[in-house]
Amino acid sequence: MIRSATSHLEIPVTASARPVAAARARRRITPQAGQALEILGHGIEYLSDEFMHEFPLPPIERKARLEAIELLMAMNRRVYFECPEIPSLHDRFLGFIRGLM
């Protein structure tokens, strides 16, 4: 479990947690995953804008909104990382060379 920096929200970490280099890889996003990412992105943007414009909220309500934003962001990452990676040109070239040997 990972604890977010701004709250006590625990986000489960699975085998899909990847090193930084793998996080830069391009992914093949299906239409369903694309739609989910779009909806989650709109939700994150809406809650973030709302949070920035409502300063007089009591601390407990601010914490709840931050947790909601963090939850949507975690789901966004989860959907994205479940999409298969597209091999880089370098990886495809190495595969081609290895196939010749």
**Residue 4 tokens, joined:** 């977010």
| pTM strictly above 0.75 | no
Q: Which residues are registered as beta bridge partners of 11?
A: 2
pLDDT value of position 4: 47
Is residue 46 in a domain?
A: yes
Query: How many domains does the chain divide into?
Result: 1
**Could you report the per-residue pLDDT of 35-52, keeping only the tens digit for each?**
999 999 999 999 998 888
Instruction: Give CA–CA dist 42/33, Å, rounded.
Output: 14
Neighbour count for residue 40 (Cβ, 10 Å): 20
Is residue 98 in a domain?
A: no
Considering just the CA atoms, what is the radius of gyration of the chain in Å?
18
> Domain range spanning residue 46?
2-85
Is residue 9 in a domain?
A: yes
Is residue 30 in a domain?
A: yes
Residues of the chain with pLDDT under 70: 1-24, 55
